[in-house]
Chain A
Amino acid sequence: MARKPILPCVALLAAILFPIFVRDPYFLHAAIMTLLFGYLASSWNIIGGLAGQHSFGHSAFFGIGAYTSTLLLLYLNVPPLLGMIAGGLLAAAMSIGIGYPCFKLRGPYFALSTLAFTEIFRVVVTTTEEVGSINLKGAAGILIPLRKGNSFVAFQFVEKAYYYYIILGMLLLILLIYSLIEKSRWGLYLAAIRDNEEAARSIGINTTFYKMLALFISAFFGATAGTFYGQFLLYIEPILFSSALGIEILLIAIVGGAGTLMGPFIGSLILTPISELTRTYLGGTYAGVQLIIYGGVLVAVMMFAPQGIVPHVAKRYRALLKGGRRPR
Chain B
Amino acid sequence: MDRSILVPTRKSRTEMLSFIEATINGILMGGLYGFIAVSLSLIFGVAKIVNFAHGAFLMVAMFLVYWILVLLKIDPYVSAVLAAVFLFFFGYFFQNVFIEPILRREKETAPLTVILLTSGLMLVLENVALLLFGADYRMVKTSYTGKVWDIGGLLIVQPRLIGFILSLFLIFLTEIYLRKTNLGRAIRATSQDREAARLMGIDDYKVYKVVFGIGSTMLGFAASFLVPFYFIHPAIGELFVLKSFVIVVLGGLGSISGAFLAGIIVGLIESLGAQFINSAMVESLIFIIFIACLVVRPTGLLGKQRE
Contact = CB atoms under 8 A, between A and B. Distances in A.
Same complex for A and B? Answer: yes
B4 interface: no
A292 B288 contact: no
A81 to B, nearest CB: 32
A292 B120 contact: no
B64 interface: no
A253 B119 CA distance: 14
Nearest to A101: B295
B214 interface: no
Contacts of B280: 123, 126-127
A275 B215 CA distance: 33
A299 interface: yes
Interface string B250-282: 000000000000000000000000000010110
Contacts of A126: 280
A323 to B, nearest CB: 24
Interface stretch (B9-17, B76-84, B108-116, B179-187): B108-116
A292 B106 CA distance: 26
B287 A119 contact: yes
A257 B242 CA distance: 27
Interface string A85-99: 000000000000000
A123 B294 CA distance: 20
A120 interface: yes
A306 interface: yes
A288 B119 contact: no
Interface in B276-307: 278, 280-281, 283-284, 287-288, 290-292, 294-295, 298
A-side interface mostly: helix
Nearest to B290: A116
Nearest to A242: B238
Contact of B283 (A111, A123, A286): A123
Contacts of A292: 123-124, 127-128, 131
Contact of A302 (B116, B123, B124): B116
Nearest to B286: A116
Contacts, number: 122
Contacts of A109: 249, 294, 298
B50 interface: yes
B50 A287 contact: no
Interface in B143-171: none
Interface residues of A, number: 40
A133 B99 CA distance: 51
Contacts of B98: 299, 303
B277 to A, nearest CB: 11
B131 A288 contact: yes
Contact of B127 (A112, A251, A291): A291
A283 interface: no
Nearest to A302: B117
Contact of A105 (B102, B278, B283, B294): B294
A243 B284 CA distance: 13
B120 A120 contact: no
Nearest to B281: A127
Interface in A259-308: 286-289, 291-292, 294-299, 302-303, 306
B116 A298 contact: yes
A143 B113 CA distance: 38
B112 A123 contact: no
Nearest to A128: B280
B21 interface: no
Q: Which 7 A-B pairs have the closest CB atoms?
A: A295-B123, A298-B120, A288-B127, A295-B124, A127-B280, A299-B120, A302-B117
Given A127-B280, A298-B116, A302-B102, 19 more contacts: A107-B112, A113-B290, A120-B288, A123-B283, A124-B284, A126-B280, A247-B123, A287-B135, A288-B126, A288-B127, A289-B127, A292-B124, A292-B127, A292-B128, A294-B120, A295-B121, A295-B122, A302-B114, A306-B106
11 contacts: A54-B116, A102-B291, A119-B287, A120-B284, A250-B116, A288-B131, A289-B131, A292-B128, A295-B124, A299-B117, A302-B102
Interface of A: 54, 101-102, 104-105, 107-109, 111-113, 115-117, 119-120, 123-124, 126-127, 243, 247, 250-251, 254, 286-289, 291-292, 294-299, 302-303, 306
